[in-house]
Amino acid sequence: MQPGQTPEKGFQWDEASKSYGIPSQVLRGEVPIQPNAQPFQPYQQNVQPAQQMMGNGMMGNGMMGNGMMAPTKATTAFVLSLVALIGGFIFPLAVLIAPVSLIMANNALKITTLNPSFHPDHGKARAAQIISAILTTILCIIMGFIALIIVGLMIGGF
């Protein structure tokens, strides 16, 4: 367009679209309807037979057959890991609960990792696993030091 010229009213398509043979109604967003076209029918999957085969047991995606999430012991593992952490300061033998909590958290994570974005217990299971793993590692280190002291005393002839 030259300076001083005013554009025509309305929108016009460029000439490139006409050379490729694209119908102008498609460019404007209009869809031509054929006279004997069938209306769109979305595909509907029948899920009832799959639920009958699986029963109410756990499916491969971490959900129960009835649409509910599979139950886990994540809350119990989380509570036990907190008892081991806080109770370890009050009564040191409470740290012995940490390996049990770690096993429970790992079992819960096997279920929740099948669908971590939708399972409500995934965060609790992961937190319990981390706390319990740290406490179990500390417990193993302390037990190793105690074993070294006992071996040292035995070698020293005490």
For residue range 42-52, list pLDDT tens digits in order: 665 554 444 44
For residue range 19-59, list pLDDT tens digits in order: 455 555 555 566 666 666 666 666 655 544 444 444 444 45
Tell me: pLDDT of 1 over 90.
no
pLDDT of residue 50: 42
pTM (predicted TM-score):
0.56
* Angstrom distance (rounded) from CA 99 to CA 143: 13
Is the residue at 45 inside a domain? Answer: no
Instruction: Compute CA distances 42 → 39, 45, 47, 128, whole Å.
Output: 10, 10, 15, 44
Mean pLDDT within 104-115: 88
| CA pseudo-torsion sign 68, 69, 72, 77 | negative
pLDDT of residue 23: 56
pLDDT of residue 84: 94
For residue range 114-126, list pLDDT tens digits in order: 876 778 888 899 9
Is the residue at 65 inside a domain? Answer: no
Is the residue at 98 inside a domain? Answer: yes
For residue range 122-156, list pLDDT tens digits in order: 889 999 999 999 999 999 999 999 999 999 999 98
Is the residue at 61 inside a domain? Answer: no
Tell me: pLDDT of 16 over 70.
no
Is the residue at 122 inside a domain? Answer: yes
Is the residue at 143 inside a domain? Answer: yes
Tell me: pLDDT of 79 over 90.
yes
pLDDT of residue 53: 40
Is the residue at 18 inside a domain? Answer: no
Is the residue at 47 inside a domain? Answer: no
Tell me: pLDDT of 86 over 70.
yes
Count Cβ atoms below 10 Å from residue 122 Cβ, excluding itself: 22
For residue 129, give its domain range. 74-155
Task: Report the number of distinct structural domains present in the chain.
Answer: 1
Phi, psi angles (nearest 5°) of residue 69: -75, 150
